[in-house]
Amino acid sequence: MFLSNILSLPILIFLPLILGLVILLPIFSKNDIYIRRYAKVCFVIHLLYSLLFWMFYSNGYITLYAPDWIKPLGVKFGFAMDELSLLMTILTSLIFTLGAIASKLHIRYGQKYYYALLLFFETTILGIFNAADIFTFFLFWELELIPAYFLIGYWGEGANSRKSAMKFVLYTFLGSLFMLVGLIMLHYFSYLAANTLNGQISMYDLSKVGVGLQILISMLLLIGFGVKLPIVPIHSWLPDAHTDAATPISMILAGVLLKTGAYAIIRFNFQILPEAFQYLAPIVAAFALINIIYAALVAYSQTDIKRIVAYSSISNMGLILLGICAMNVIGLTGSIFHMIAHGLIAAGLFMVCGIVLLRCKERDINKLGGLAKSMPRLFGFATIIVLASIGVPALAGFVGEVITIIGALASELSDAIKFIGIFSLPVLILSSCYLLKFLHKGFYGEEESCKPSSDIANHEFVVLGIIVLLLIIFGCYPAAIINTIQNIFVTNGAVIW
């Protein structure tokens, strides 16, 4: 009873929204120093609260809050949590907290509205990860566009930040149109098959619906989810948005927002439409391989350090998508683990890029060099994060990559997926090429094109220190995450949700 009173999903999801509204009160001025302090405290409190869910979570323990919303259609404003939602919730709270801390030197104006929107943004992402009803899911999927647009467009670091923000909104909105049609079809034909209306995500039964229709629904959903993942060729919003957004927002976009696409594919295509996804999985796996190869090659050709990291995210999301397509316990475990590992790695790499930009006023990798001498602490952190992204053992990136590839090789769906898994092994070497180029040209060399007066600040040390510490902990002790993931599965390789 005590825990049930403390661990409340509505509080978990809407606490950032409520705390964000407080910032808008007249007691805070537009650039009050207390705004930053208050916002950081809010994010830390929410992170600690989300960790309570992990500490006191038990197998099969699901909290549900689902009052009737549109009763004639069986739609409920519902939230539920399982192990996957729990992991994504903690990742979201952590990355948003690190982003808020990193904002100190990057956000110089409009802090009152910036931190309020940042808290609103967190609520929308949490709503996506904990939605129990498909229409609740869609509501938060669309609401997320509002704070994201302003955060990218009005506090961006690039001259084209507003154009990039609009591009992101248009891509997501167009993808959402396909997704909405798929969700309506899913809801409607489930009603015809079961003669009941229940929008709860885990309650759909399409056993009486034809496979052809299921495949059509699955394809429509994949288009919508693929924009957010993103899947090549509907990915071009990402490099622009990541490059032009402020560093803390780039950290959140790469660390959390991209994961909503992978999460949605697991929830809908894998969970609700597994029979249809079996037919589509080899094709989707081919797109995953294109993601890995194309993004890696483009990343190597880039000179803007933020675009290098942006394309590396596309490549890594391709690896996550490949694990989902394996449709087995190993592949899905690897995908979920790599979602968390890449969330930390991407946030760390963008933080490094942001620090370099602040100190040197330069993002062209050909104009950088010798930073290891003047900024040894940044160099040390950057080296560890890059090695984690490459997949060096004892770091979290290695665990996710290896398990995902093994899952693809063990797939029983199609020989094509096994072939893609085999081919992905040497292709992953490409990641070491562009990331070592990033490290070598930026930090090595005798000539120091930029001579900053100081190394990283204390708050930057805290952000990078937490990221590196977690990458080492999860790399040496991956069971901390894998044990939680394994609670999703039951014997004989079946999956329950």
- Residue 164, CA distances (Å) to 100, 111, 316, 323 in order: 22, 21, 22, 30
| Chain centroid offset of residue 373 CA | 33
Residue 224 is assigned to a structural domain of this protein: no
As a residue count, the chain comes to 497
Q: Give the three-state DSSP class for 407.
A: helix
Give me the pLDDT at residue 133, please.
86
- Tokens of residue 306, six digits: 């933020």
Residue 494 is assigned to a structural domain of this protein: yes
Between CA 41 and CA 69 the distance in angstroms is 33
Residue 58, pLDDT > 80, answer no
Give me the pLDDT at residue 460, please.
95
**Full DSSP string of 437-497:** HHHHHHH-SS--S---SS---HHHHHHHHHHHHHHHHHHH-THHHHHHHHTTB-GGG-B--
- pLDDT range class, residue 186, cuts 50, 70, 90: confident
Across 193-204, average pLDDT = 53
Residue 251 is assigned to a structural domain of this protein: no
Between CA 253 and CA 41 the distance in angstroms is 22
Residue 258, pLDDT > 80, answer yes
Provide the residue range defining the domain that includes 486: 280-497
Residue 3, pLDDT > 70, answer no
Query: Which residues fall within 8 angstroms of residue 121, CB to CB, at 6 or more apart?
Result: 96, 144, 147, 148, 151, 252
On the question of a cis peptide bond just before residue 16, with omega within 30 degrees of 0, the verdict is no
Residue 106 is assigned to a structural domain of this protein: no
Least-confidence region, from 205-209, 342-346, 358-362: 205-209
| Chain centroid offset of residue 234 CA | 17
More confident residue, 71 or 14: 14
Mutual angle of helices 161-194 and 145-154, in 10-degree steps = 170
CB 350 within 8 A of CB 98: no
Number of domains in the chain: 1
Query: Which residues fall within 8 angstroms of residue 168, CB to CB, at 6 or more apart?
Result: 148, 149, 152, 237, 240, 241
Residue 367 is assigned to a structural domain of this protein: yes
Give me the pLDDT at residue 374, please.
85
Residue 67 is assigned to a structural domain of this protein: no
Mutual angle of helices 458-476 and 83-102, in 10-degree steps = 150
Across 312-335, average pLDDT = 94
Cite the DSSP H helix spans in 265-364.
Answer: 274-301, 305-325, 329-360
What are the tens digits of pLDDT across the range 284-313?
999 999 999 999 999 999 999 999 999 999
Query: Which residues fall within 8 angstroms of residue 72, CB to CB, at 6 or more apart?
Result: none
Between CA 230 and CA 400 the distance in angstroms is 19
pTM of structure: 0.94
Between CA 124 and CA 474 the distance in angstroms is 27
Across 388-410, average pLDDT = 93
What are the tens digits of pLDDT across the range 101-147?
999 989 888 899 999 999 999 999 999 999 988 889 999 999 999 99
- Tokens of residue 336, six digits: 């979920």
Residue 446, pLDDT > 70, answer no
Give me the pLDDT at residue 77, please.
83
The DSSP bridge partners found for residue 364 are 304
What single DSSP character describes residue 452? -
CB 199 within 8 A of CB 134: yes
| Average pLDDT over the chain, rounded to an integer | 88
- Tokens of residue 199, six digits: 């929008």
Across 244-259, average pLDDT = 95
Residue 65, pLDDT > 70, answer no
195: left (phi over 0), alpha (psi -120 to 50) or beta: left
Residue 448, pLDDT > 80, answer no
Mutual angle of helices 305-325 and 396-409, in 10-degree steps = 40
Residue 215, pLDDT > 60, answer yes
Residue 249 is assigned to a structural domain of this protein: no
More confident residue, 426 or 462: 462
- Residue 140, CA distances (Å) to 62, 122, 134, 339, 430 in order: 20, 11, 10, 20, 36
Most confident of 62-71, 223-232, 366-375: 223-232
Give me the pLDDT at residue 412, please.
86
CB 288 within 8 A of CB 322: yes
Q: Phi/psi of residue 58, each to 5°?
A: -125, 160
Least-confidence region, from 30-44, 68-82, 227-241, 424-438: 68-82
68: left (phi over 0), alpha (psi -120 to 50) or beta: beta
What are the tens digits of pLDDT across the range 349-377?
999 999 999 988 888 888 888 888 888 99
More confident residue, 79 or 222: 222
Residue 171 is assigned to a structural domain of this protein: no
Most confident of 71-80, 221-230, 487-496: 221-230
Tell me which residue of 446, 455, 434, 248 sits closest to 356, measured CA to CA. Answer: 455
